[in-house]
Amino acid sequence: MGAATKTFCFGITTVVIAYLYLRWQPDVLRKEADLNAIEQQMVDAWEKQIQYPKKPFSRLAVGTNGNIDLIVSGIELLNKLKQVPGKEHNHNRLASLRDLQESFSYFFKRGRAAERLFTDADLYKEVVKAVYTLEKVEQFIGGNAALMAKNAASLFPDVKIQFVGPVGPILQKLMPKAISIPESSIAKQDEFHLIMEYKVGQEWGSTKAPVATRFICSYDASNSEMTMLETFFNNLDAFKPDLILLSGLHMLESLEPEFFESRLAALIQGLDKVDARIPVHLEFASMMDKNFMRSILEKAMSKVTSLGLNEQELAFASIAMNGPHSDHLEMSEGQPVIHIMSDLIHWMLSTYGKSSKRPDSRLTRIHFHSLTYHIVSVHKDHWKNVKSATMAGTRVAGHQACDTKESNPHFVDLRIPLEFKLYSGDVQRKFDPHNPAFTWTMGEFYFVFSPVLVCKHPLKTVGLGDAISATGLMFSEFSP
């Protein structure tokens, strides 16, 4: 057979194989195309619809928790500590390695992020020592406040940022040079937090992780007592911020009730001195003590302007206060139900926020963020550009998790149901990727719902909430 004939036969064979593949695999190809299409439509919609605020914030004061995050594989660390899969139990505090294994297993099975404190300093030192024997250990900026400062600096380079928190030698080197750190905030030693990450589908015993997230643990003297709280407020007059971001309140949960109440009183005293024209955002984190949560809600919630939190924190607030859906929330697993979360947000704003019934409250905004969607609700007289801010927050979640600067529809998935209710009593809504954000009004409050394009193979799960909250605020406009 000649060379020309061979080439001809090879060409015909290739065409036939391609035809047969297309003939017998149309469903696979069509599904792939449709999947990419809906994500691409959302990316295109974001590009067209997200608008920068006309009067952006320019001076951002952030405090008060900061540390070094040691990021490791949670399962590899448990194996190194000679822990085996066993009982699942949600411990409020960790007093032993068994407590660590049981708490990790509890949240691993449910695919929920959580944070717990060790009660034994020496035991925690042994755990950290074991961390440094693993093949892969990463050191990053940690602490909600430090992460909000870092993310704001990278996303909004023209904004002047001051961070106050316990800044040790390693953290000082890692923080962006553009961030101002007062001398009074410098500490001799770093605090270390352990981020035990796991991937979707990863196995621990007979359980597979439903999502990629992490379990955080620590023993932290500086942050757990908010030692930089007074320093933070003392530096505000000289810096003159037009936006304040606070976090670290959850770290006080490990303290005795009397000491906690004294630190909460110090926080309230500092907040009372802040000019009402300057919005104050408080970022929540994982909490488990009902009395602790109840005290924050009743005494401090009306003193802040904005609140950021996830489904675990929002649900726990309702459980602690006997709010709506309490029975359902204690039994629920998996993706948070959209209309239930919006009901809780409305309950929280109606109960603690500024309204005709509570004119003295400063709380006018809640930014709820979960893995698959966000809801932002505001008092309609006090915030503008809310729709763009909500979409910007959902967009940055995918960027951060995939470690990309642009949205790539091939790297992400839409994971919300395509039909859903926005609140109890609502009709079923159909999702439109060309108009991905839904808006509605309930009384004095305006709501925006926006889905997240979830990163398929996340490179980093820690700090997403902090990047989301910082971005949502920086795209917002506040009217005192």
Residues labelled catalytic: 466
Q: DSSP for 182-222?
A: -GGGB-SS--EEEEEEE-TT-EETTEE-SS-EEEEEE--HH
Residue 450 contacts residue 468 (beta carbons within 8 Å): no
The Cα–Cα gap between 167 and 181 comes to 8
Burial classification of residue 207, based on how many CB atoms lie within 10 Å of its CB (0-12 exposed, 13-18 middle, 19 or more buried): middle
What angle, rounded to 10 degrees, do the helices at 3-24 and 26-49 form?
70
Closest residue by Cα to residue 304 from 258, 352, 257, 350: 352
The Cα–Cα gap between 350 and 371 comes to 25
The Cα–Cα gap between 286 and 288 comes to 7
At 280, list the tokens. Answer: 């104050």
Give the strand pairing for 365-369 and 306-309.
parallel
The Cα–Cα gap between 318 and 328 comes to 11
The Cα–Cα gap between 437 and 459 comes to 26
Closest residue by Cα to residue 365 from 290, 444, 439: 444
At 452, list the tokens. Answer: 């997240």
The Cα–Cα gap between 472 and 465 comes to 10
Q: Label residue 106 left, alpha or beta by phi (over 0 means left) and psi (-120 to 50 means alpha).
A: alpha
